[in-house]
Structure 1
Amino acid sequence: MRCCTVWGWLSMSLIMPLSESAAEVITWKATGKGGAVAAGKMNSVAAGIQILEEGGNAADAAVATLLALSVTDYGMFAIGGEVPLIIYDAKTQEVKVLCGLGGAPLDPAAIDGFYEKGIPSKGSMKSAPVPGAVDLCVTALRLYGTMSFEQVAQPTLTLLDAGQKQWHGDQLETMRKLVQSERETSASRDQKLTAVRDRFYKGDIADELEAWYIESGALLRKRDLAAHVTRVEDPVSVTYRGYTVYKCGPWTQGPYLCQTLRLLEGFDLKEMQHLSPDYIHVVIESLKLAMADRDEYYGDPRFVKVPLAQLLSDEYTSLRRPLIEMRHASLQRRPGDPFGPHPVKGQTQLEDSTAEIPVQDTTTCVVADRWGNVVAATPSCNLVGNKPGPSGVTQGNRVRSLNTTPKHPNRVQPGKRPRITLTPTLVVKDGKPVIAISVAGGDLQDQTTLNVLLNHIDFGMLPEQAVTAARFNTFHHENSFDPNPDRKAAFKGAGKMRVNEDIPEKVRRALTERGHKVETTKGPIANPIMLYIDHESGLIHVAGDPQAGRHAAALK
């Protein structure tokens, strides 16, 4: 098979390390029947396409893309980062979530230190969680892939070998060790892949990481690495206008997208017209309600009971929907009471946060193959100043997405996963996968996902239109990267919202008249990619916002 898109965006010199058939035709949109990949930088897409060309399935290609992203999109992602992943398995016709997110340190003394001194919010190895990306990749290969680790890692080894920085060589050596463990294990494919995983989390690489942790002041130790597992979970889902939308659990922000869709199903968005004042207003007000519940109730369900069934129920949704006033923007934080149930648990008068919390962005990955398997993943690391260790592994600051607020569902505890913003999306209709979306952008991720998803479901846009149409977002929520124990002080901006400047002045003025505090921006609001499968024609349409530096390719 060969790619059916046309060359664009980057010079040939940047993509020469990978096969020309995979790389020379990559731009920001594509259509084909043989499989498709969208991600961040061009060479990451080339890695996934190369694996599809060689006969790999969507899981194989997704892992190849993720590994390559640790090089091409370094700073947005790194091999010591985290990756939530959703997969549709064509054989079982099931959707599953793979949690490639590590937890806080297991040492109670380390956790006590957070309560005594606070969780560092501006970049520190003390805020590093257990690295989850490597085990996520191995687990995805073992459960859903067909290829060896060596095969899917080859494009990344090529990229690292051509790299000029110290960490390129160090990470190359680490990955070669993983390949060596697979080669030298004379056993089943599962056991070979387990050997890859064990060398990183239990073997000499883990020893190197622990020495680096001690030297850099990090709170993780080898026992944290050894205890880590990639959990395979059932997704959270809702039905919206005949589509079943799947998200990761409440250890991410993902379920609030489901809550928002439940609220919006009671409005005729198409009648309102795309990007009209009514449309933008009702979407923003629905987001405010859902994000208030996110900030009030979400956390790692291994440690806290999250009332998802109640939050997504018909009864609760019908109580919350009338809170949306079509002529007035809410300036209060209004979580509901799903236990009563009651429409509002309490209303809080708000002051905007003045904290300066640095955030380093995320990247993106969606893949479909010719057999009907589909993957959506959102890889990240949030480095914020953290540097690579001697093994070439860089880790981020995700523990700061926890807090030290007493009794809060997202308070830090030993081994607890932070409630992250990373939130891939997979959509099924009539039992078949039709849409995969991944967005980079912190608290903007599911807001932009909602923009893109509604563009398709309610307004019939294909990916190339859906990811480039003007977007909007609200800042009426807590900052997911601010661990301040006073959660009111973490609130970003009461009533504040932002629109792309392409949205007409008369629309912005109408929103202001309803009480919204409207800002405009020329740049992209988050960084989306989207894949759509037309099962009648067999075509896979894939696109990434070119203004956000996204790339895509497909096979005929």
Structure 2
Amino acid sequence: MKRSRLYIAFVLAITSIFSYSPSMAQRTEKPPLHGKHWMAITGKPLAATAGANLFQQGGNAVDAACAMLAATCTMWDVLSWGGETQALIYHPKHKKVIAINALGVAPTGATVDFFKSKGYEFPPEYGPLAAVTPGTPGGLCYMLAQYGTKSLAEVLAPALEMAAGYPIDAQTANSIERGKNRIKEWPYSKRVFLVHEGEEREAPEAGEIFVQEDLLQTLSKMVQAEKQALVEGKDRKAAIMAASDRFYRGDIADEFVRGSREQGGLITKEDLANWHPIEEEPLHINYKGIDVYKLQEWTQGPALLQSLQMLKNFDLQAMGYNSAPYIHTLYQVMNLAFADRDFYYGDPYFQPKAPMKGLLSEVYAKTRVQEIDAQRNNRQVAPGNPYPFEGKTNPYEALLQQRKAQYAPSTEMEKNFVPTHDAMPSTAALHEASAQHLTSLATDSAYMDRLWRGTTTVEAADAEGWIVSITPSGGWLPACIAGNTGIGMSQRLQSFVLDSLINPFNVVAPGKRPRVTLTPSLALKNGEPYLSFAVQGGDTQDQNLLQFFLNMVEFGMTPQQASEAPNVNSNQLWLSLGGTQIDDRRPRAGSMLLDKRTSQEVIKRLKTMGYNIQLAERTSGPINAIYFDQKHGTLWGGSSNNGEDYGIGW
């Protein structure tokens, strides 16, 4: 720990020179939300209204969350019904956090040899061969049946009305237009999305009534299955699961498989019939009296927990909010956590099993932070060795050495990036960056699209104490629709690897779940609800959420202030999405994205530490959160100002 003590002394000495005042984050563009009875926040205003409607009908937070999930899927809010659902639920009666794993699995035939025979170094990012089995329909039905109070018919009513026709928003309509050339490759997608085929603009116009007749029929069939089960005398839970059964084992499954395989997909009827959601125990650590919960290592969520364990060894408040030492510390800690993620995380229901006890150990965290150089970026960050911290010998020591030699981080510094996920920097920001002699922000947008791709969030809470945090994703535009179901297929298969040197725990195999970026969060304080938070944005999710959490816990921000505050993005990690070649995904050592408001003094200092700096107006995906004011017994809501995310409270 000698190095850590020297590091703390170093950062305290220069904080006053390179500090960045949090006052910039105090003036929010959107007002905070307040509620006494309930709170509903998600990625689209209409979908938030769907959640509010369920609350007004007497539903609990699970009912409202399921209604918002169904609505966002129907509105193609960078996901659809064929995607995957990951959720954390707080059960107020049992005082327990429950994890829901509704991630699809690799289909029959999805093997390393199959994809390598087609010239891929990763599974493809688009089309039928990118699809795992759908998870959202089954996950929604399971959550609703086990923990909700309403019927599936009641919860799906807003989504059914939307499928029958709703005024499409500009963001989705323009996304369809941008992706129309790829959409034309898939006949069922073309029929649904390109409603003005042959005209200059083939996608719907903003405000036009967008009708999805096939999806309406599919959702109606699920509701019919529930009603029939009730007529037959089954109880509420069994009736809801009858709807799920029709999707995965009935006529909906038949058409889904037919449409997928017609277009070259691998999913079989048996793949659908054998899949089911899993209720499991979440992982958690305690940070300064706050218990933080994340999903297991089939997500990247434990990387946030590892980061918090390491950050216990630093006085972050003394460094100063977004000072050069603070930014450097976050970047180094996140890189260490993500290096472990990149090698050790994978499906816990397959062998080998990841060494999570060691990875989350406080003692292991202390050894990791000793690798941090206080004055320079470590361009050679590698996975650590957590096995001794759970009393085992690392079986991958030779593999790690081979990996280090073959997949050393890229040394290129000239590549540039900018978030292109439906939000570009302003012209003024580009001119400002140029004037500051920084790298241009306008190039290499494909890389950042991979980094930020997909996903929305759903946050709900009620006065009884039910809390739901969901990060659903998959089937984003341009999506390949499976036959006449109206269901866009997931693209999550691309998050597998084909080379065990990259990650022996995440090599593709039939029936296996890929390690995903999707990562809802819950936190308890004094054993009571404290914070529910999530964000969209691919590999940046737990980077953004870590800083959001620290903004509130260390720097006293409100949820709205924390959601709008500047973020630091590291690209020194293996990308989980996009590109089928190694160079598309390889870590970019020293690559850092900062908010354009960052002071010149901080930028100058960071550049001397070996960072390649780019600036943008947007440095985080939209963060949605609910804070539980234990003093006053009320709810606070926060929703980022950089997307269409929207919340309603009462």
Equivalent residue, structure 2, for 1:495: 590
One-letter amino acid matched to 1:203: G
How far does the alpha carbon of each residue in 1:79-118 deviate from its partner, in whole angstroms, 9 at most, with x for none?
A: 111110001000111101101100001347x664124323
Q: Shift of residue 502 of structure 1?
A: 1.5
- Distance in 1 (CA, whole Å) between partners of 2:31 and 2:279 is 32
1:401 aligns with 2:503: no
Equivalent residue, structure 2, for 1:16: none
Do the aligned partners of 1:405 and 1:485 also contact (CA within 8 Å) in 2? no
One-letter amino acid matched to 1:31: H
Equivalent residue, structure 2, for 1:30: 33
Q: Shift of residue 314 of structure 1?
A: 2.4
Equivalent residue, structure 2, for 1:116: 117
Deviates more, 1:281-290 or 1:382-391: 382-391
Do the aligned partners of 1:403 and 1:484 also contact (CA within 8 Å) in 2? no
Equivalent residue, structure 1, for 2:82: 80
How far does the alpha carbon of each residue in 1:213-240 deviate from its partner, in whole angstroms, 9 at most, with x for none?
A: 1211110011111111100010011111
- Distance in 2 (CA, whole Å) between partners of 1:37 and 1:239 is 27
- Distance in 2 (CA, whole Å) between partners of 1:126 and 1:232 is 28
Do the aligned partners of 1:36 and 1:554 also contact (CA within 8 Å) in 2? yes
- Distance in 2 (CA, whole Å) between partners of 1:326 and 1:367 is 41
How far does the alpha carbon of each residue in 1:288-326 deviate from its partner, in whole angstroms, 9 at most, with x for none?
A: 000000001111011121000001112211211111222
2:515 to 406, 416, 419: 419
Q: Shift of residue 509 of structure 1?
A: 1.3
1:153 aligns with 2:156: yes
1:318 aligns with 2:318: no
How far does the alpha carbon of each residue in 1:41-84 deviate from its partner, in whole angstroms, 9 at most, with x for none?
A: 10111011111111111111110000000123x15010111110
- Distance in 2 (CA, whole Å) between partners of 1:546 and 1:482 is 26
Residue aligned with 1:467, SS: helix
Do the aligned partners of 2:303 and 2:338 also contact (CA within 8 Å) in 1? yes
Equivalent residue, structure 2, for 1:20: none
Equivalent residue, structure 1, for 2:173: none
Equivalent residue, structure 2, for 1:101: 103
How far does the alpha carbon of each residue in 1:386-419 deviate from its partner, in whole angstroms, 9 at most, with x for none?
A: 3323111001211010011147211001110000
- Distance in 2 (CA, whole Å) between partners of 1:128 and 1:476 is 27
One-letter amino acid matched to 1:388: I
Percent identical across equivalent pairs? 33
Q: Shift of residue 122 of structure 1?
A: 3.6
How far does the alpha carbon of each residue in 1:232-276 deviate from its partner, in whole angstroms, 9 at most, with x for none?
A: 010011111111110011110110110000000111111111111
1:214 to 261, 266, 269: 261
Equivalent residue, structure 2, for 1:198: 245
- Distance in 2 (CA, whole Å) between partners of 1:122 and 1:226 is 25
Gap change, CA 1:472 and 1:114, over 3 Å in 2: same
1:387 aligns with 2:480: yes
- Distance in 1 (CA, whole Å) between partners of 2:370 and 2:500 is 32
Do the aligned partners of 1:29 and 1:553 also contact (CA within 8 Å) in 2? no
Bigger Cα Rg: 2
Residue aligned with 1:69, SS: helix
Deviates more, 1:135-144 or 1:539-548: 539-548
- Distance in 2 (CA, whole Å) between partners of 1:385 and 1:482 is 13
- Distance in 2 (CA, whole Å) between partners of 1:483 and 1:305 is 27
Do the aligned partners of 1:29 and 1:551 also contact (CA within 8 Å) in 2? no
1:433 aligns with 2:529: yes
- Distance in 1 (CA, whole Å) between partners of 2:638 and 2:581 is 40
Residue aligned with 2:212, SS: helix
1:172 to 216, 226, 234: 216
Deviates more, 1:129-138 or 1:377-386: 377-386
Do the aligned partners of 2:456 and 2:536 also contact (CA within 8 Å) in 1? yes
Do the aligned partners of 1:28 and 1:551 also contact (CA within 8 Å) in 2? no
Gap change, CA 1:480 and 1:382, over 3 Å in 2: farther
Residue aligned with 1:549, SS: coil
- Distance in 1 (CA, whole Å) between partners of 2:647 and 2:479 is 30
1:374 aligns with 2:467: yes
1:470-549 alignment runs, 5 A limit: 470-482=566-578, 490-549=585-644
One-letter amino acid matched to 2:87: L
1:553 aligns with 2:633: no
Q: Shift of residue 382 of structure 1?
A: 4.8
1:36-55 alignment runs, 5 A limit: 36-55=39-58
Q: Shift of residue 485 of structure 1?
A: 7.8
1:130-149 alignment runs, 5 A limit: 130-149=133-152
- Distance in 1 (CA, whole Å) between partners of 2:65 and 2:411 is 40
One-letter amino acid matched to 1:236: L
- Distance in 2 (CA, whole Å) between partners of 1:452 and 1:306 is 27
One-letter amino acid matched to 1:503: T
Q: Shift of residue 168 of structure 1?
A: 1.5
Residue aligned with 1:43, SS: helix
Structure 2 unpaired stretches of 5+: 1-29, 168-190, 193-210, 416-443
Q: Shift of residue 36 of structure 1?
A: 0.2
Gap change, CA 1:180 and 1:462, over 3 Å in 2: same
TM-score, normalised relative to structure 1: 0.90
Structure 1 unpaired stretches of 5+: 1-26
Equivalent residue, structure 1, for 2:565: 469
Between the two proteins, the alignment pairs up a number of residues equal to 526
